[in-house]
Amino acid sequence: MNKHTAIYKTHPTVVTIRGDEAFNAEGNAIPYDQAAVQAYIDAHAYIAKRQTEYPSFIDYLDGVVKEDQAQVQAYIDACNAVKTKYPKG
């Protein structure tokens, strides 16, 4: 999660960001709450951590195509292990 995404998510009136400055639709600089932005980033940090550790979805599809329920279940178990390791918020 990058800072600009967090600013857009936490401050819906922001339409443009240049550097660390946020602007509304009229082009006026508007302040944003740094603490709220950082809290949003921290609360969503699990997403990036999960993405790097999830197994390839190809393993799942391969198991489905081969009708190999053990392979499908192994994929599901691996995904659930990652979710347990990096819980939401």
Per-residue pLDDT reduced to its tens digit, 4-14: 999 999 999 99
- pLDDT, residue 89, reads 66
Task: Please list, in sequence order, all residues whose beta carbon lies within 8 angstroms of the beta carbon of residue 57, skipping any fewer than 6 positions away.
Answer: none
The distance from CA 67 to its chain's CA centroid, rounded to whole angstroms, is 31
- pLDDT, residue 1, reads 77
7 CB burial (10 A radius; 0-12, 13-18, 19+): buried
pTM score: 0.65
Residues of the chain with pLDDT under 50: none
